[in-house]
């Protein structure tokens, strides 16, 4: 062990900390580290491949003899399959394989009842149309509110409402005591909608057998979990399967394992001895490939007149379709005296939810941040001031200043005071996230005698930039330019890496990458020292050269001195480089939004969003900004547009395409000011924090607060559509008139 003193924190707010560094690990980077490649804005390594169309995604595999698969899906939300007849389809020339799923009941629109594989996509389409299914339609319930009703059809078991496990938290008694001490207690209902992931690249895979070995090209955000789930479903060992994800077109939480269609593709390929291709179409993407659950959140919050937050109590009901996990996460940001939450899953006849970028957070924060603004309004305090008073996080405190300056918070006017039909408003909201660096990721680094450097890990780059970050870390450690490092990702024959969920990938992969490079570096320097007859400690590696007391030589020449063809080290992320004491316990972020609302049409235009996001030590500002921009994009889209609409009558989705399921486009996107906020946490040897998810958490809350500030009325339901805006304005108008009337009456009484 060696002792090191680190400078941790962020500019203007730092402290020294002494740590013990294990002998085979590099000391953590801190504020004093003078990094040359890591932390710099390098364009992503695979950018050229992606802009020229050369990057190969799953559906781009063109294998000789490949066949195509698809499914017959139920148009009904709830039905009994009376008869399922594949005989006509199977007779069609070119149909090669089929499976029927004669389950007694289908329980959501889109559920597969049969699947086929055929010679070509054209034959497949014809064959799917020949499958005969006779449904007896049964009563269904697809909306959360309807499923709560006493006489609602039971979806599974007797009751549609289930309490999520571990979903009652805090103390109701303490919250009630806190409310009793408050000056203002407000009860409000907030609602959020079901959102679908809408990855541009659909789910699916291409499977090929060679003997008893299976290779699968998959659009997945978890190559190893995909391999595991697929192997299990096929009854083979994971060692027989290789999963390849070279490039993938977005997952956002919906692509964590092998799905039914992937299993079918593998079975069809095995049965026919030909590679099989199965990608979902856009309709199936919306119906069967996951979604973010909705929520009905009943909130009672209280505050003292001086701005001290007291109690926060939330009861939420939401539907994850046939799945579970519709809870929300609300009051973890501010220091309430007491909190209590009670969360229920409501079963409906709809496709199951899946993890979706920051599961539970955006919906909870929308309610939480709305409640905060309502409390601020009630006690006549600036909403930012209320947050500053109650936010214990030192990083967010600094971020409030940065963000307020960038958006021009001092321009904010009292809610509803914006004159004319086009009304401007400002809003703020915050986010928290955990430092999710997870042990267990393994990275192999190899230096060849020819001077080549290869870094390998079997996990995937889902668009975040993992490949580039890996190269930066290793180049930094070896004192090389970025271009000198080659990265291989996305093949499960390489060392293990986690799924890209919980924003773990970069923070978990970087420390072992650095340690593997560090080990190679030590061995390279030892070899050079032996050849030159000097001490390894007297040598250093920087700017592509080995520097000694008397001489220096190029990296390539140094590698030429290696006694073996190559040296190689594999490091696994673990306590030695991932569990130093951390400067902060949580990742912090704040966002500010400016909107313009047309009070006559009810339309909302987001003018600007400022997103200040704690990144730990910024791995690459270019990539960090992209993550933040993307989080904000999805947040605005969620706030204003997206909503899965299930028809109560038929149970089918009314907008299962990209035209009617509106996602934010280039025309609506505002100016986004993404501010990566660098914090040296010192927790891991590379210092970067989770970044993929937190930037999407506060956006909808900030936008909603800005809308309320603009129009002086609150829309408590997402998406904030023109109808809801107009209704909120009308409602506020009515209330104002009524209270004006009251006041007049009182005045009259006094006079007479």
53 near another protein, rule: CB under 8 A = yes
**Closer of 54 and 129 to another protein (Cβ):** 54
Tell me which residue of 721, 715, 687 sits closest to 701, measured CA to CA. 715
**Closer of 461 and 576 to ligand FES (Cβ):** 461
606 near another protein, rule: CB under 8 A = no
Figure out which of the listed residues 39, 202, 293, 602 binds another protein, where binding follows CB under 8 A.
Answer: 202
**Closer of 55 and 332 to ligand FES (Cβ):** 55
Residues 496, 407: Cα–Cα separation, whole Å: 43
Q: Could you tell me the smallest distance in angstroms from the CB atom of residue 241 to ligand FES? A: 27
Which pair of structure tokens corresponds to residue 374? 């309502």
**Closer of 125 and 723 to ligand FES (Cβ):** 125
Q: Could you tell me the smallest distance in angstroms from the CB atom of residue 179 to ligand FES? A: 46
Figure out which of the listed residues 19, 35, 55, 402 binds another protein, where binding follows CB under 8 A.
Answer: 55
Cβ(393)–Cβ(588) under 8 Å? Answer: yes
Residues 562, 552: Cα–Cα separation, whole Å: 16
CA dihedral for 505, 295, 329, 630, sign (positive or negative): positive
**Closer of 464 and 717 to another protein (Cβ):** 464
**Closer of 463 and 695 to ligand FES (Cβ):** 463
Q: Which does 501 bind (CB under 5 to 8 A by kind): ligand FES, another protein, none?
A: none
Residues 298, 240: Cα–Cα separation, whole Å: 50
**Closer of 22 and 249 to ligand FES (Cβ):** 249
Q: Could you tell me the smallest distance in angstroms from the CB atom of residue 627 to ligand FES? A: 12
Q: Which long-range contacts (CB under 8 A, 24 or more apart) does 29-36 make?
A: 29/617, 29/680, 29/685, 29/686, 29/687, 30/6, 30/680, 30/682, 30/687, 31/7, 31/680, 32/6, 32/7, 35/476, 36/476, 36/479, 36/542, 36/543
Count how many residues are written for the chain.
Answer: 752
Residues 718, 191: Cα–Cα separation, whole Å: 6
**Closer of 135 and 661 to another protein (Cβ):** 661
- The region of 18-26, 184-192, 325-333, 629-637 touching another protein under the rule CB under 8 A is 629-637
659 near another protein, rule: CB under 8 A = yes
Beta-carbon contacts of 651 under 8 Å, excluding residues fewer than 6 positions away, are 76, 77, 78, 108, 109, 140, 142, 349, 350
Cis peptide before 162 (omega within 30 of 0): no
Place of tokens 């006079």: 751
666 near another protein, rule: CB under 8 A = yes
Q: Could you tell me the smallest distance in angstroms from the CB atom of residue 431 to ligand FES? A: 22
Q: Could you tell me the smallest distance in angstroms from the CB atom of residue 626 to another protein? A: 5
CA dihedral for 718, 724, 727, 732, sign (positive or negative): positive
Residues 471, 378: Cα–Cα separation, whole Å: 52
644 near another protein, rule: CB under 8 A = no
Q: Could you tell me the smallest distance in angstroms from the CB atom of residue 255 to another protein? A: 11
**Binding characters for another protein, 455-474, by CB under 8 A (x = yes):** -------xxxx---------
Q: Could you tell me the smallest distance in angstroms from the CB atom of residue 399 to another protein? A: 19
Contacts to ligand FES by CB under 6 A: 200, 249-250, 463
**Closer of 45 and 142 to another protein (Cβ):** 45
Residues 675, 678: Cα–Cα separation, whole Å: 9
Cβ(221)–Cβ(466) under 8 Å? Answer: no
Figure out which of the listed residues 1, 34, 51, 166 binds another protein, where binding follows CB under 8 A.
Answer: 51
Beta bridge partners of 554: 545
Q: Which does 669 bind (CB under 5 to 8 A by kind): another protein, ligand FES, none?
A: another protein
64 near another protein, rule: CB under 8 A = no
Residues 709, 711: Cα–Cα separation, whole Å: 6
- The region of 48-56, 130-138, 232-240, 539-547 touching another protein under the rule CB under 8 A is 48-56
286 near another protein, rule: CB under 8 A = no
**Closer of 60 and 543 to ligand FES (Cβ):** 60
50 near another protein, rule: CB under 8 A = yes
**Closer of 318 and 676 to another protein (Cβ):** 676
Q: Could you tell me the smallest distance in angstroms from the CB atom of residue 194 to another protein? A: 17
Quick one: CA torsion of 258, 264, 265, 270, rounded to 10 degrees?
120
**Closer of 601 and 658 to ligand FES (Cβ):** 658
**Binding characters for another protein, 245-284, by CB under 8 A (x = yes):** --xxxx-x----------------------------xx--
CA dihedral for 211, 216, 222, 225, sign (positive or negative): negative
Residues 132, 72: Cα–Cα separation, whole Å: 10
Q: Could you tell me the smallest distance in angstroms from the CB atom of residue 117 to another protein? A: 16
Q: Which does 630 bind (CB under 5 to 8 A by kind): ligand FES, another protein, none?
A: another protein
Q: Could you tell me the smallest distance in angstroms from the CB atom of residue 119 to ligand FES? A: 23
Size of the site for another protein (CB under 8 A): 58
Q: Could you tell me the smallest distance in angstroms from the CB atom of residue 589 to ligand FES? A: 22
Q: Could you tell me the smallest distance in angstroms from the CB atom of residue 252 to ligand FES? A: 10
Q: Could you tell me the smallest distance in angstroms from the CB atom of residue 659 to ligand FES? A: 10
Residues 465, 625: Cα–Cα separation, whole Å: 11
198 near another protein, rule: CB under 8 A = yes
The beta strand positions in 119-212, using DSSP E, are 132-137, 161-170, 184-192, 195-196, 204-210
Which pair of structure tokens corresponds to residue 611? 């997103």
Place of tokens 């000391």: 27
- Give the DSSP letter string of 498-561: --S-TT-HHHHHHHHHHHHHHHHHHHHHHHHHHHHTS-GGG-EEETTEEE-SS-EEEHHHHHHT
Figure out which of the listed residues 625, 641, 644, 716 binds another protein, where binding follows CB under 8 A.
Answer: 625
**Closer of 247 and 396 to ligand FES (Cβ):** 247
- In the complex, the residues that contact another protein under the rule CB under 8 A are 41, 43-44, 46-57, 59-60, 62, 120-122, 198-202, 247-250, 252, 281-282, 462-465, 622-623, 625-626, 628-630, 632-634, 657-659, 663, 665-667, 669, 671-672, 674
């Amino acid at each position: 062990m060696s002792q090191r003193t680190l400078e941790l924190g962020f500019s203007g707010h730092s402290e020294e900390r002494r740590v013990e560094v294990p002998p085979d690990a590099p000391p953590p980077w801190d504020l004093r580290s003078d990094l040359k490649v890591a932390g710099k804005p390098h364009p992503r390594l695979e950018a050229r491949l992606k802009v020229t169309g050369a990057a190969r995604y799953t559906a781009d595999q063109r294998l000789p003899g490949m066949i195509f698969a698809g499914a017959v899906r139920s148009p009904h939300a709830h039905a009994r399959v009376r008869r399922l007849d594949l005989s006509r389809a199977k007779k069609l020339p070119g149909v090669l394989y089929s499976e029927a799923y004669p389950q007694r009941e289908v329980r959501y629109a889109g559920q597969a009842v049969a699947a086929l594989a055929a010679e070509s996509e054209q034959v497949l389409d014809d064959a799917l149309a020949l499958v005969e299914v006779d449904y007896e339609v049964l009563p269904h319930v697809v909306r959360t509110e309807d499923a709560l009703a006493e006489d609602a059809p039971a979806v599974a078991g007797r009751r549609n409402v289930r309490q999520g496990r571990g979903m009652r938290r805090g103390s109701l008694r303490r919250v009630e005591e806190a409310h009793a001490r408050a000056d203002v207690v407000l009860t409000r209902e907030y609602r959020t909608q079901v959102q679908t992931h809408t990855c541009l690249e659909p789910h699916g895979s291409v499977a090929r057998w060679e003997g008893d070995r299976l290779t699968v090209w998959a659009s997945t955000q978890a190559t190893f979990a995909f391999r595991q789930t697929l192997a299990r479903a096929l009854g083979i060992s994971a060692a027989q399967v290789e999963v390849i994800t070279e490039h993938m077109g977005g997952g956002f939480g919906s692509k964590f394992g092998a799905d039914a269609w992937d299993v079918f593709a593998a079975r069809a390929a095995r049965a026919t001895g030909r590679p099989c291709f199965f990608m979902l179409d856009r309709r199936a993407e919306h119906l069967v490939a996951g979604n973010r659950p909705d929520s009905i959140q009943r909130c009672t919050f209280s505050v003292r007149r001086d701005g001290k937050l007291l109690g926060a109590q939330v009861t939420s009901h939401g539907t994850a379709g046939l799945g579970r996990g519709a809870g929300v996460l609300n009051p973890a940001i501010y220091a309430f005296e007491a909190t209590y939450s009670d969360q229920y899953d409501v079963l409906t006849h709809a496709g199951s939810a899946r993890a979706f970028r920051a599961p539970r957070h955006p919906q909870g924060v929308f309610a939480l941040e709305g409640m905060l603004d309502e409390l601020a309004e009630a006690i006549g305090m600036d909403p930012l001031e209320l947050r500053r008073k109650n936010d214990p996080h030192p990083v967010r405190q600094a971020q409030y200043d940065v963000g307020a300056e960038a958006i021009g918070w001092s321009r904010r006017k009292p809610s509803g005071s914006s004159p004319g039909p086009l009304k401007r408003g400002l809003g703020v909201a915050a986010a928290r996230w955990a430092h999710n660096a997870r042990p267990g990721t393994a990275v192999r680094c190899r230096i060849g005698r020819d001077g080549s450097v290869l870094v390998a890990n079997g996990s995937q780059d889902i668009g975040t930039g993992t490949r580039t970050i890996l190269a930066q870390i290793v180049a930094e450690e070896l004192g090389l330019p970025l271009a000198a490092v080659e990265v291989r990702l996305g093949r499960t024959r390489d060392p293990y890496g986690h799924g890209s969920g919980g924003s773990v990938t970069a923070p978990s992969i970087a420390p072992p990458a650095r340690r593997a490079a560090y080990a190679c570096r030590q061995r390279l320097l030892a070899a050079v020292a032996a050849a030159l007859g000097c001490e390894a400690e007297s040598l250093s590696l920087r700017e592509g050269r080995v520097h000694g007391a008397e001489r220096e030589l190029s990296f390539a020449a140094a590698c030429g001195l290696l006694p073996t063809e190559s040296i190689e080290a594999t490091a696994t992320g673990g306590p030695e480089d991932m569990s130093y004491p951390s400067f902060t316990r949580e990742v912090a972020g704040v966002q500010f939004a400016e909107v313009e609302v047309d009070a006559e049409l009810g339309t909302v235009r987001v003018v600007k969003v400022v997103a200040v996001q704690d990144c730990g030590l910024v791995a690459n500002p270019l990539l960090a900004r992209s993550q933040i921009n993307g989080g904000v994009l999805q947040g605005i889209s969620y706030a204003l547009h997206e909503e899965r609409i299930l028809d109560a009558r038929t149970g089918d989705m009314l907008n299962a395409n990209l035209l009617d399921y509106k996602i934010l486009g280039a025309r609506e996107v505002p100016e986004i000011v993404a501010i990566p906020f660098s914090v040296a946490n010192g927790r891991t040897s590379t210092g970067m924090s989770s970044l993929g998810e937190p930037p999407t958490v506060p956006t909808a809350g900030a936008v909603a607060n800005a809308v309320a500030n603009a129009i002086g009325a609150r829309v408590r339901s997402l998406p904030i559509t023109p109808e809801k805006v107009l209704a909120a304005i009308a409602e506020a108008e009515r209330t104002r008139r009524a209270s004006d009337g009251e006041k007049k009456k009182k005045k009259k009484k006094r006079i007479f």
